[in-house]
Amino acid sequence: MKKRQLERRKKMMADVLAHPSYRPMRLRELAALLDIPRPKRRELYRVMDELVKDGHAQINSNGTYVRVKARIGAGEDAPYIEGTFIGHARGFGFVDVGEGEEDIFIPEEKTHQAMDQDRVRIVLNEKGNGKRKEGTVIKILEHGCRELVGTYQKSRHYGFVVPDNPKVGHDLFIPGNDSMGAVTGDKVVAMITRYGSRRRGPEGKIKEILGHGGDPGTDVLSIVKSLGIPTDFSDKVARQAGRISEELILGDFQGRKDIRGWTMVTIDGEDSKDLDDAVSLTWEEGIYHLGVHIADVANYVQGGSAMDREALRRGTSVYLVDRVIPMLPEKLSNGICSLNAGEDRLALSCLMDVDEKGNVIAHEIAETVICVDRRMTYTNVQKILDGSDPEVCREYEDLGPLFHKMDELSALIRRRRQERGSIDFNFPESKITIDGDGRPLSVDVYEHNRAMELIEDFMILANETVAREFYEDMIPFVYRTHGNPDPDKIEGLLTLLHSQGISIQKAKKEISPLEIQQILQKVKGQPNEALVSRLALRSMQQARYAVECSGHFGLALSHYCHFTSPIRRYPDLQIHRIIKDRLRGRMNLEKEETYASILDEVAALSSSAERRAEEAEREVEKLKKAEYMMGHMGESFEGTISGVTNWGLYVELPNTIEGLVHVTALDDDYYVFDGENGRLEGEATGRTYALGDKVKVRVVDVDLYQRNIDFVIDR
């Protein structure tokens, strides 16, 4: 059927559906009505599929066709609703229509074959089940999912890819010639070539074979690929990196402050390789001269270059249990841009004078040449601070007074932040130890110490100082913002806290950072400290990058940015370019307009990349925890109820592993969910399970595909 002929027939069928006497009909009824012979009905099917695809018709759950109005039940002139489809393993889905708006539920029969992350157009249904709005997908505007990662299943002349992502509700058909020789059980990346229709499933071809499902590292690589995280650098980027000198040349020193004679150190984890920040400190009566020195990555990554475009695409380095996926090639991140001890390096330094109250009374941002004296670890600095290891104290005897003075300054800065209302969430993070094949050997709590806090305090102070200067001078910039919590979520949090015996009264309608801090102070050192910290965190908005300086709620700061990690975060690299343009007198009106035109996109892409990296880190952690618990089937553990829903209880073990006790597995009783107080109540037994309760559980099932752990109460 030619295009012009197709358009004429679509118009004709649209007129049929719009006729006042038309009643919803199935395809065969429409064919009979129009007296279309059986051999020609295939053309009718195509016409109707195109009408549905274009959003001019929709298919009801009984298979009948109806005309689509602008919004069902809202009048002809009401606008369509557009958003992102979020799939569910059970076939239905939700449409995210924007920040601050409730998702719209889409029943399985009204998804219009939309796939997870598709941009869709929907109309609201006249009636929905319950309070949530319900809609129908009438058009897929843009496919968000162009590739799938999954497990290949081979048949004789074709195969299927079973997606790893449970939100994708369709297996992908693979013709035999497009399999790349994959065998059953291979983890593969498949490109979608046809998205399918109501009568035909999606089709694709294998693009990459990641390895067999049981091969070491394939499980993590599958998660990385499924989220679209780039893993390899192009030849062009590699060539650019290869041309960068491994040592400084004479021209590098021009126009820079040479502070190689200053005593400075890096303080990082034992396994860190990309050392992008160093600190220095001198002091005199009442004044601390603090230097935060950051690798000058922008000197090597030119804006608009292939390496820069790749860094923007990645947005951030991704730190997983068994690997790091860097934002920049290793020659930079572990080489010339890494502040290795004893080697001359280029830096951007934020030099601050801090008084005895922790206030910055003067500062300078400068391009510098530095040379780090010692590469220190958090562990050894902590041993020096608490004097717990005489051998380490002797080894670094010359630096001992420096670290104690840094600890003293850190305490002043931290006290000032706390007085302002800065929120320090204190809940355990996971430390997963794996063997050479990626198998988890242990899951423990990652311990924080004063040495980590010291570096965190100095970096936050530098970030605040830099952001304030560029805000006050009204220069286009990228800020790190954190909005006020959602009032409804805060009310829910306060109700739950009341059920935990924690009473907080807000002074105003919106809660302040100081009031959140007071909540956390009340539970400090208590058994429910981690639980309350998580509940408070869940009530918060996500931090993001933005060109508007709207403040950071969690840190109780009016000005904040990310300046201190340009090796691993793109916004920091972008900020360094802005700073260098200003320092070198290049920040004219034309340059400001150029930055103003690109920074919105930089902020949006960086925020999106950060979410993607966080999801990868979270999913890999869940996978390794599930793998670890596979070796503990049938064993019992003490835990704390960390979540209560109408489908069961989430229980967290002391080592941070969390599992679900299904409500059907609790007792031979009917349990009622009390969401306001965060508990389940048994009607017959009167037994209750509430947030924060200590329970003993037994491991009964582990699902590696869904990365879920199931417990039962062990009495």
Q: Does residue 221 lie in a domain region?
A: no
Q: Is the pLDDT of residue 4 over 80?
A: no
Q: Does residue 75 lie in a domain region?
A: no
- 269 shares its domain with 361: yes
- 317 shares its domain with 463: yes
Determine contact, residues 596/588, Cβ cutoff 8 Å: no
Q: Does residue 592 lie in a domain region?
A: yes
- Per-residue pLDDT of 111-154, as tens digits, reads 888 888 889 999 888 765 556 788 989 888 888 888 999 999 99
Q: Does residue 225 lie in a domain region?
A: no
Q: Domain span at residue 47?
A: 1-68
Q: Does residue 524 lie in a domain region?
A: yes
Identity at 423, one-letter amino acid code: I
Percent of the chain with pLDDT over 90: 59
Distance from C-alpha of 400 to C-alpha of 286, rounded to nearest angstrom = 20
Label residue 658 exposed, middle or buried (CB < 10 Å: 0-12, 13-18, 19+).
middle
Selected residue with higher pLDDT from 96 and 189 = 189
**Parallel, antiparallel, or unpaired: how do β-strands 264-268 and 374-377 relate?**
parallel
Collapsing DSSP states into helix, strand and coil, what is residue 210?
A: strand
On average, the pLDDT of the chain sits at 89
- 410 shares its domain with 456: yes
- 476 shares its domain with 514: no
- 328 shares its domain with 431: yes
- 593 shares its domain with 457: yes
Q: Does residue 132 lie in a domain region?
A: no
What is residue 488's predicted lDDT score, i.e. its pLDDT? Answer: 77
- 1 shares its domain with 25: yes
Number of structural domains in the chain: 5
Say what the pTM is: 0.83
Q: What number is the average pLDDT over the span 179-205?
A: 89
Selected residue with higher pLDDT from 53 and 646 = 646
Q: Does residue 105 lie in a domain region?
A: no
Q: Is the pLDDT of residue 388 over 70?
A: yes
CB atoms within 10 A of CB 683: 10
Determine contact, residues 333/227, Cβ cutoff 8 Å: no
- 376 shares its domain with 499: no
- 468 shares its domain with 515: no
Q: What number is the average pLDDT over the span 321-330?
A: 94
Please report which confidence band the pLDDT of residue 646 belongs to, taking 50, 70 and 90 as the band edges: confident
Distances (CA, A) of 411 to 216, 393, 454, 709: 45, 21, 8, 41
Tokens, residue 265: 């150190």
Determine contact, residues 417/460, Cβ cutoff 8 Å: yes
**CATH number of the domain that residue 195 is part of:** 2.40.50.700
Q: Is the pLDDT of residue 75 over 50?
A: no
Tokens, residue 380: 């050894």
Q: What number is the average pLDDT over the span 385-414?
A: 96
**CATH number of the domain that residue 668 is part of:** 2.40.50.140
Q: Is the pLDDT of residue 586 over 60?
A: yes
- 673 shares its domain with 576: no
Q: Is the pLDDT of residue 60 over 80?
A: no
Q: What number is the average pLDDT over the span 518-545?
A: 81
End-to-end CA distance of the chain: 70
What is residue 130's predicted lDDT score, i.e. its pLDDT? Answer: 57
What is residue 74's predicted lDDT score, i.e. its pLDDT? Answer: 38
Q: Does residue 127 lie in a domain region?
A: no
**CATH number of the domain that residue 32 is part of:** 1.10.10.10
Selected residue with higher pLDDT from 225 and 145 = 225
* Boundary (domain end) residue, out of 17, 35, 68: 68
- 256 shares its domain with 346: yes
- 366 shares its domain with 413: yes
